[in-house]
Amino acid sequence: MKKSVQNLTVISNQRLNRDHALLELKSEVLLEGILPGQFANILVDKSQNVFLRRPFSIFQVDYKCNSIFVLIKGIGEGTKSLSKSLVGETLSVIFPLGRGYTFPEKKSKVLLVGGGVGIAPLMLLATMLKQNSHQIEILLGARTGEDLVELEKFARYGTVHTTTEDGSFGSKGFVTDHALFGDELKSFDKIYTCGPEPMMKAVARLAYLNEVDCEVSLENTMACGYGVCLCCVTETTGGHRCVCTDGPVFDIKQLKWQN
């Protein structure tokens, strides 16, 4: 789908817990071909102190209702404002932006690893991988059990494993402390991950050492979303690249994390 600027209508705002909200935004333009890992840049027009758009991974797409979902964690003025959007309001959205995850060429065993709000692009990814009959294991990590959201939905697409730093739900520790990152890791054909950069670097390192293909979705300040402002430049093996256009998804071989 070609990127465009649209005024999308909020048709639902589901409060998942104290901090997280799931917005469903309806388009009047036919949606088609949105890829997992692509994102939307949303204008925060209710705040006089927030000038830049905020980027959000596209969590899910409902083509029958012609709507997209975005998962928002209210941690700053901009995200808190958007998380309180009311049904019937309109939001100015640029989407779909960026390059998404790539799919295995043959039926594969894949591992999806999400940390915190970094689970957002993995839902659409899991949906499309399931449609293509791949074997899916999903590992989601958070600080506490309360921070883990949408586990039942993820379970529709694969076996779900969880970790929490305080041990209140699932295995205690970081995602890379989970048993899946032991001897079983070599059994996967590919790993997809999104979350805090230290987590993704740890996942990428273990994938690299075990010779498992791995793609990561980077987060950066993506003010414009189409490579003009240069706020999101990151260093790669091929030189400096804009996360918003050359990414946000990169193969770990493109990054200098292992050097």
The CATH number linked to 77 is: 2.40.30.10
Q: Are residues 66 and 28 located together in one domain of the fold?
A: yes
Q: Are residues 118 and 197 located together in one domain of the fold?
A: yes
Q: Are residues 67 and 159 located together in one domain of the fold?
A: no
The CATH number linked to 135 is: 3.40.50.80
What's the pLDDT score for residue 206? Answer: 97
Q: Are residues 88 and 115 located together in one domain of the fold?
A: no
Examine residue 246 and state whether it is found in any structural domain, yes or no: no
The CA distances from residue 246 to 42, 181, 250, 257, in Å, are 20, 29, 8, 17
Q: Are residues 84 and 137 located together in one domain of the fold?
A: no
DSSP letter for each residue of 76-92? SHHHHHHHTPPTT-EEE
Examine residue 239 and state whether it is found in any structural domain, yes or no: no
Examine residue 188 and state whether it is found in any structural domain, yes or no: yes
Q: Are residues 62 and 156 located together in one domain of the fold?
A: no
Q: What is the pLDDT of residues 175-233, one digit of tens each?
A: 999 999 999 999 999 999 999 999 999 999 999 999 999 999 998 878 888 888 888 99
Q: What is the pLDDT of residues 134-175, one digit of tens each?
A: 999 999 999 999 999 999 999 999 999 999 999 999 999 999
What's the pLDDT score for residue 249? Answer: 98
Examine residue 237 and state whether it is found in any structural domain, yes or no: no
As given in the structure block, the two tokens for residue 101 are: 């995850």
- 215 Cβ contact partners less than 8 Å away, ≥ 6 residues apart: 101, 102, 190, 191, 192, 193, 249, 250, 251, 252
Q: Are residues 86 and 123 located together in one domain of the fold?
A: no
- The count of domains in the chain is 2
Examine residue 252 and state whether it is found in any structural domain, yes or no: no
Domain final residue pick, 48, 63, 97: 97
Q: Are residues 89 and 120 located together in one domain of the fold?
A: no
Strands (E), the chain: 4-15, 20-26, 39-42, 54-62, 67-73, 90-97, 109-115, 135-142, 159-164, 171-172, 190-194, 213-217, 233-236, 239-242, 249-251
Q: Are residues 72 and 123 located together in one domain of the fold?
A: no
Q: Which domain holds residue 166?
A: 109-217
Domain final residue pick, 75, 97, 119: 97
Q: Are residues 43 and 91 located together in one domain of the fold?
A: yes
6 in helix, strand or coil? Answer: strand
Examine residue 92 and state whether it is found in any structural domain, yes or no: yes
Q: Are residues 62 and 159 located together in one domain of the fold?
A: no
DSSP letter for each residue of 120-146? HHHHHHHHHHHHTT-EEEEEEEESSGG
Q: What is the pLDDT of residues 95-146, one digit of tens each?
A: 999 999 999 999 999 999 999 999 999 999 999 999 999 999 999 999 999 9
Q: Does residue 94 have a pLDDT over 80?
A: yes
Examine residue 207 and state whether it is found in any structural domain, yes or no: yes
Examine residue 234 and state whether it is found in any structural domain, yes or no: no
Q: Are residues 197 and 116 located together in one domain of the fold?
A: yes
